[in-house]
Copies of this chain bind each other. A is one copy, B any other.
Amino acid sequence: MHIAITGAAGFLGQRLVAQLLDRGELDGDAIRRLTLVDQAEPPVVAKEGVEIRSLALDISTPGALDPVLEAGPDVIYHLAAVVSSAAEADLDLGMRVNFDATRALLEGCRAHGLSRTRLIMASSVAAYGGELPAVLDDMTALHPQNSYGAQKAMSELLVNDYSRRGLVDGLVLRLPTIVIRPGRPNAAASSFASSILREPLNGEEAICPVPTDLELFVMSPGRVVDALIHGAGVSGEALRTFRAFMLPGITVSVAEMLEALREVAGDEALARVRHEPDPRIEAIVGSWPARFTNERARQLGFKNDKDFREIVEAFLGERA
């Protein structure tokens, strides 16, 4: 089993690599080879019996991935992306990395005859938008209200069409908001969703810029990696007529998130969250859908977090 990963230096990529090396197998086959790709060489941890290559490549350049694809990987995780704020600030950059690179990867798979390679791409809840119903299902149209979401939605269509034509065996997983991310607050509108838990748990102050009745659709980093791994074993036939769908997050209000913080870490931790409304952030995050039926994902065996408390406890467990 040879696995290639784009965006392997990122937060999710690094967690996926660690999990794969820990398991030692994917879909029942021993992992013999791992090819990690990112703009800068992804960090490598040696593991006996696994040949690991780490490559710095600009995957938006046509043919850049040829050396990887020539080796005929069995599974490709395509995680490389420009995040939503950057794609909104620079249309050309977003188109090049989020769309053209996906197209180049698909063309590379076609050119190298990788019709049986399982290509797993990460898409996003940001692909949804506009005038949405209260609860979304697998037939809800994608009307993205940001360039990142539009580029992901276009890539989904392309992965589906190349798969339908038998040029690759694609699968696209739309990710909920990932909570709790490690690290520091950043410029992402959703940054607070991790920050209001992470900082108080670390004994620091955090700012909550949205009303506490605001709902989010969230998934823990651990469950997202589980989904990426599970996706390698889902048959193309089971994916039927469309290869992209939303992963099963859970719906939580900010109030419920803060209550879980209090339960796990006490009133002292909760008191570290300052409420400073920011209408700009509320407008962006409030436009993201928070309720999904997730029928397809469940039928295909993808699992959600049990509840928000489990997410907080998992974060504490990993930090320990």
Contact B141 A142 (CB under 8 A): yes
Contact B150 A157 (CB under 8 A): yes
In the complex with contacts A129-B241, A130-B240, A138-B141 CB distance below 8 A:
yes
| B-side contacts of A141, CB under 8 Å | 138-142, 242
How many whole Å from A170's CB to the nearest CB in chain B?
A: 12
Q: How far is the CA of A118 from the CA of B160 in the complex (A)?
A: 31
A82 at the interface (CB under 8 A from B): no
A316 at the interface (CB under 8 A from B): no
A309 at the interface (CB under 8 A from B): no
| B-side contacts of A145, CB under 8 Å | 164, 241
Contact B165 A157 (CB under 8 A): no
A223 at the interface (CB under 8 A from B): no
Q: How far is the CA of A157 from the CA of B127 in the complex (A)?
A: 10
Contact A133 B139 (CB under 8 A): yes
Chain copies in complex = 2
- The interface on chain A, measured as residues whose beta carbon lies within 8 A of the other chain's beta carbons, has a size of 27
The closest CB in chain B to the CB of A142 belongs to B141
Contact with B along A163-197 (1 / 0, CB 8 A): 01100000000000000000000000000000000
A286 at the interface (CB under 8 A from B): no
Partner of A157, one of B91, B133, B140, B144: B144
The closest CB in chain B to the CB of A162 belongs to B91
Contact with B along A83-105 (1 / 0, CB 8 A): 00000000100000000000000
A297 at the interface (CB under 8 A from B): no
| B-side contacts of A91, CB under 8 Å | 165
A12 at the interface (CB under 8 A from B): no
In the complex with contacts A150-B157, A157-B150, A158-B150, A241-B164 CB distance below 8 A:
no
In chain A, positions 202-228 with a C-beta closer than 8 Å to chain B are none
The 5 closest A-B pairs by CB, nearest first: A130-B241, A143-B242, A150-B161, A154-B154, A141-B141
- Besides A139-B141, A142-B157, A144-B160, 18 other CB < 8 A contacts? A91-B165, A130-B240, A130-B241, A130-B242, A131-B241, A132-B139, A133-B139, A140-B141, A141-B141, A141-B142, A143-B241, A144-B161, A145-B164, A145-B241, A147-B165, A150-B158, A153-B157, A157-B157
